[in-house]
Amino acid sequence: MKRCQVGEVAFYTIDELAAGPGVVAAVSTRHGGVSTGPLASLNLGFNCGDEPAHVRANRYRLCCALGLEPHRIVCARQVHGTVVRLVGEESAGAGFGDPAAALSAVDGLVTDQRGLALWLVFADCVPILAFDPDRPAVGIAHAGWRGTAGRIAAALVATMASTFGSRPECLRVAIGPCIGPCCYAVGEEVAAVVSAAVSDPSRVLVAATPYRLDLGEANRQILVAAGVAPAHIALSGQCTACRVDEFYSHRAQGGCAGRMAAVVAIR
């Protein structure tokens, strides 16, 4: 992943996903927007107490920086679930300027429509972006501990396979910045349900009191178990809680955090 800046807007492009020029895949930072205070400055979420006009302005800024058309962004109301939905032109623009119009209760999106941009928001949870260069098709998922325990990453792969005929071993997948094992203390109940979802819990849980959880590694294991080639999985490894200078972190900011966006589209 490579840090880029267009005007004031800073973001990471996921070049590992875009083997060719045909894909836009990016994760935003907190830099380059108009929001203030703990939400400074590129807050892209409507549900964290910001002025809606600020969120809209920030969303337009990121679209401009990435060369995306706002009326073709598809946004979802995320609920820490495991539902992955196929979206087409009928969903273009959903929820971009008005959160009430976002697709309800989904945490994963897939499409094979060119120019339709799949957009989810994050502050510590794991962004998972996928690209099938053969179809082509793209997908995105939001995985906190609940989504990880429910294996939403595997649901994303399975949905792309059943919908587009994507072969898991041919997918390119990226795991973006998220809270790292350095900062993510969890209780026994969370440790147990995430352990049950992965192939090698010893690499996912740091045995300490309390446990510390590596959500990025957990999702990497779930993707491999779903058939994705390890060499095709790019792991950011950046911790959102360690880097509150660069990202928003729900944990590190005591719940007063803005939201980054992850976005993927076929050009």
Where along the sequence are the contacts to Zn ion (CB under 5 A)? 180, 182-183, 239, 241-242
Q: Closer CB to Zn ion, residue 131 or residue 247?
A: 247
Q: Closer CB to Zn ion, residue 53 or residue 208?
A: 208
CB of 241 to Zn ion, least distance (A): 5
Which residue(s) pair with 141 in the sheet?
108, 128
The 10 Å CB-count burial string (b at 16+, else e) for 35-59 is beebbebbbbbbebebeeebbbebb
For 189, other C-beta atoms within 10 Å of its C-beta total 9
CB of 256 to Zn ion, least distance (A): 18
CB of 119 to Zn ion, least distance (A): 25
Q: How far is CA 180 from CA 58, 59, 165, 205, 242, in A?
A: 26, 26, 33, 11, 8
Q: Closer CB to Zn ion, residue 32 or residue 180?
A: 180
Q: Hey, what are 167's tokens?
A: 């072969």
CB of 56 to Zn ion, least distance (A): 31
Q: Give dist(CA 75, CA 250) in Å, integer.
A: 20
Q: Closer CB to Zn ion, residue 74 or residue 241?
A: 241
